[in-house]
Chains A and B, each alone.
Chain A
Amino acid sequence: MSEQFEPKIVAFVCTYCTYAGADLAGTSRLKYAPNVRMVRLPCTGRISPMFILKALQKGADGILISGCHPGDCHFTHGNYHARRRWMVFRSLLEFIGIPADRVKYSWISAAEGVKFAELINTITEEIRALGPFTQYHGLIEETQSQASL
């Protein structure tokens, strides 16, 4: 039996809700798939579409964007900007040939540790089913440098 494909998922999360929710999953000792790598940002409003493209370019197979529930943003409405930006960016993704189902969007509050763990398991399986994301792999070899000094 061939080895199971382990997707690499990059999550862009806000520090106030989803990052805290992930910490709660930790303190509650919930178990979830080890495929996700978190990038902590002050607010989902800070998430540039370029981050997503960069992560895919670097070899991520899936992306998660997650922040506070609508109405709960620590910065009052950064998550609304993020949501609106995502609605536009999603159609652009399709246009440039990246299946939009590789990019997930979700609201997770600081109290939703269980939801966080479940979400990671679900999207890991979904991305696993999609297989590796290889479209950019040629590109990355050209641009990939060793770590900066």
Chain B
Amino acid sequence: MAKIGVFICHCGENIGGRVDCSKIAEALGEHPGVSVSVEYKYFCSDPGQESVKKAIRENNLTGIVVAACSPRMHEATFRKACAEAGLNPYLCEIANIREQCSWVHSDKDMATEKAIDITRSMVEKVKLNNNLHPIEVPVTRRAMVIGGGIAGIQAALDIANAGQEVVLVEKEPSLGGHMAQLSETFPTLDCSQCIMTPRMVEAAQHPNITLLTYSEVEKVEGYIGNFRVRVKKKSRFVDMQKCTGCGDCYTKCPVKKIPGEFDCGLGKRTAIFTPFAQSVPNNPIIDKEHCIYFKNGKCQLCVKACKFDAIDFSFQDEYLDLEIGAIVVATGFQVQDTALYGEYGYGKYPDVITGLQFERLASASGPTAGKILRPSDQKEPQHIVFIQCAGSRDSSKGVRYCSKICCMYTAKHAMLYTHKVHGGKTSIFYMDIRAGGKGYDEFTRRAIEEDEASYLRGRVSKVWQENGKLMVRGVDTLLGRPVEVEADMVVLATAMVPQPGAKEFAKTIGIGYDEYGFYNEAHLKLRPVESSTAGIFLAGACQSPKDIPDSVAQASASASKVLALFSKDRLEREPVIASCNEATCAGCWGCVLACPYNAIEKKDILDRSGKVIKQVASVNPGLCQGCGTCVTFCRSNSIDLAGFTEKQIFAEVMGL
């Protein structure tokens, strides 16, 4: 028989002043199954909690209801008190008679009546509460970092330096991501490759890091602490054990005029190639699409050139199945396709380029060895027009959000150009200068004051060619008049958008994304580096446009989350999860459709001879988050949710 204790808290005057606590105590005292019904000024205080514990012990209570503030305030407090008194903490329920009663009603009689109803219904519920125990799941202490840009490298190094194993997966042939493409970085103007390449090497040589380049994650199964990840290692056609990265193969390759991806099409590469000189690893790959051998079975000049017998056209893609405890997603961004701004002439005029192409021109390792030269005639431009927000903050054609880095890199481009081309003029069309960040505003002021960048506040409507010059027509809203500027080169500050296939990839690994395809954090403010799936964390621009310091900060934050997870052998989780009665489950799989977490699996029921006699639903306690959607779907009432069972809720309703 139930022996329930009811503890009515006055919360000083907060409850006691607005509802008649004695009347509640009296009414509940007469309720069947209630052994103790008492009131006190502050049950959350030390003496209050002690009195609850004493009452539990002395009366052998089978459950308690604390009629007090919201469970969001003190449920944990009273559960802990229960546990200390030897009662399972999940035999404690809170009747919220403060936030949802005494504070919001002015009629004392009606409020008291409501408080009695609320408390009684919780008493009816708690009678059916069961002992629950936190779920423990083992943890595989191996992290996977997906994406080898600055965010991924930072996360991998942080985890590896803490002594944990990391598998770093990069889909391109080399680590580096976008940061390796940049020339100098704002606001310090230090060389991007100078700070990036040592980190790439460090990651590749770290004893705790397994590097998988030119590889993609194909499938993620399992749950926090226990993921199974399938990685496709695409064939390079070069044996990385034998290859020394000498480069004899690509100097001999006869296909030499393929626009290089790393140089954003401004430079040329061969069919067997390394993306850039400092690639990590420094082994080439063969581009099947352009290689003559793969077209007609001839050539093989690279095979002949290779002294180490490292090239083999018969290599196939490999698949690796890995046991992983936590995943950091750092898949980065791409630059928006500028073709949608036909009026700016991108693609039509070779001297209209994107900001990322300008980075390659300004980079010492770029196609022009750091000289700013026009792609059309390799001449030095005397006047460059920069167009900011060429895609960002434009709900009609581009994206609605601010890409965050463009104001800064445009100022940087203007500076770099004037440092390289003395006497060169820059005009920048902008909407606002958004320079929030350490040293950022000072940096843009320097571009204006020292490097004489001419900022024109307004949008550009058209770019066209006239007498060998690019004409830029826009508006200067501060002067309130249209302007036309003659330029030798136009640089578009294109928007940062999610990677192609970002949404599909999110579905593959089971995380949420927003309308654009950026990955959703569990809580924008309080859990900014966790995805909505336990054990999967986010770092860098895959979550939203970010600059390098922000990406690094988020990557380190993700790494610390991973390390916290790895600090224990086993994970403890709230036991509010679903479970299935295998005897009654009919195997209709309505629950499988309903579950947002893919937590319900099909389980074979075998007879003695090992023959499958039926399949039933089985809830994976590691994946289940306890929403209960499956329970409502279940046609045979086989699934129930601990803590919110059908019986408990019916009892609660009947108690009202």
Q: Please list the residues of chain A having a beta carbon within 8 angstroms of any beta carbon in chain B.
A: 6, 8, 10, 19-20, 22-23, 25-27, 29-32, 34, 37-43, 45-48, 50-51, 54-55, 58, 60, 74-78, 81, 85, 117, 146-149
Contact = CB atoms under 8 A, between A and B. Distances in A.
Interface stretch (B95-103, B156-164, B222-230, B303-311): B95-103
B31 A147 contact: yes
A75 B625 contact: yes
Contacts of A78: 596, 627-629
Nearest to B576: A42
B631 A48 contact: yes
A23 B70 contact: yes
A40 B654 CA distance: 14
Contact of B110 (A29, A34, A74, A75): A34
Given A20-B72, A43-B628, A54-B653, 5 more contacts: A23-B100, A25-B99, A26-B98, A34-B105, A43-B629
B644 A41 contact: yes
B325 to A, nearest CB: 23
Contacts of A81: 594, 629, 632-633
B656 A37 contact: yes
B16 interface: no
B652 interface: yes
A42 B655 contact: no
Nearest to B107: A34
Contacts of A37: 114, 117-118, 121, 656
Contacts of B632: 45-48, 81, 85
**B interface, size bucket:** 35 or more
Contacts of B98: 26
Contact of A34 (B32, B114, B627, B644): B114
Contacts of A6: 110
A149 B33 contact: yes
A103 to B, nearest CB: 14
A148 B33 contact: yes
Closest CB pairs A-B (n = 10): A26-B99, A46-B628, A45-B629, A75-B627, A43-B627, A26-B103, A34-B105, A23-B99, A34-B110, A76-B596
Contact of A46 (B99, B105, B127, B627): B627
B205 interface: no
Interface in B67-122: 70-72, 96, 98-101, 103-107, 110-111, 113-114, 117-118, 120-121
Contacts of A41: 628, 644, 649
Contacts of A85: 632
A26 B32 CA distance: 30
A45 B634 CA distance: 12
Given A10-B656, A37-B117, A46-B644, A147 B124 contact: yes
A30 B104 CA distance: 6
23 contacts: A27-B103, A30-B104, A38-B96, A39-B653, A41-B628, A43-B629, A45-B594, A45-B632, A46-B631, A51-B653, A54-B654, A55-B653, A55-B656, A58-B656, A75-B629, A76-B596, A78-B628, A81-B594, A117-B104, A148-B32, A148-B124, A149-B2, A149-B33
Contacts of A148: 2, 32-33, 124, 127-128, 651
Interface string B577-606: 000000000000000001011000000000
B344 to A, nearest CB: 34
B653 to A, nearest CB: 5
A85 B594 CA distance: 12
A141 to B, nearest CB: 14
Contacts of B594: 45, 81
A147 B32 contact: yes
Contacts of A46: 627-629, 631-632, 641, 644
A75 B625 CA distance: 8
Looking at chain A's contact residues, is the secondary structure mostly helix, strand, loop, or mixed?
mixed
Contacts of B458: none
A75 B578 CA distance: 14
Residue from the set B114, B626, B633, B654 with the largest chain A CB neighbour count within 10 Å: B654
B613 interface: no
Contacts of B121: 37, 39
Given A34-B111, A81-B629, A23 B72 contact: yes
Contacts of A47: 632
B1 interface: yes
Contacts of B31: 147
A51 B104 contact: no
Nearest to B634: A48
A10 B104 contact: no
A27 B54 CA distance: 31
Nearest to A148: B127
B441 interface: no
Residue from the set A20, A23, A55 with the largest chain B CB neighbour count within 10 Å: A23
Given A29-B103, A34-B114, A76-B532, A54 B650 contact: yes
Nearest to B100: A22
Given A27-B103, A149-B33, A45 B653 contact: no
A26 B101 CA distance: 8
B646 interface: yes
A85 B105 CA distance: 33
A75 B111 CA distance: 33
Contacts of B375: none
Contacts of B596: 75-78
A31 B33 CA distance: 34
Contacts of B113: 34
Contact of A58 (B1, B626, B653): B653
Contacts of A51: 649-650, 653
A61 B633 CA distance: 26
Contacts of A31: 104-106
Contact of B100 (A26, A54, A58, A74): A26
A147 B118 CA distance: 14
B512 interface: yes
B531 to A, nearest CB: 11
A1 to B, nearest CB: 17
A58 B627 contact: no
A85 B104 CA distance: 31
Interface in B495-509: none
A58 B127 CA distance: 19
Interface string B612-656: 000000000000011111011100000001001010011111111
Nearest to B73: A23
Residue from the set B32, B96, B596 with the largest chain A CB neighbour count within 10 Å: B596
Contacts of A147: 31-33, 120, 123-124, 654-655
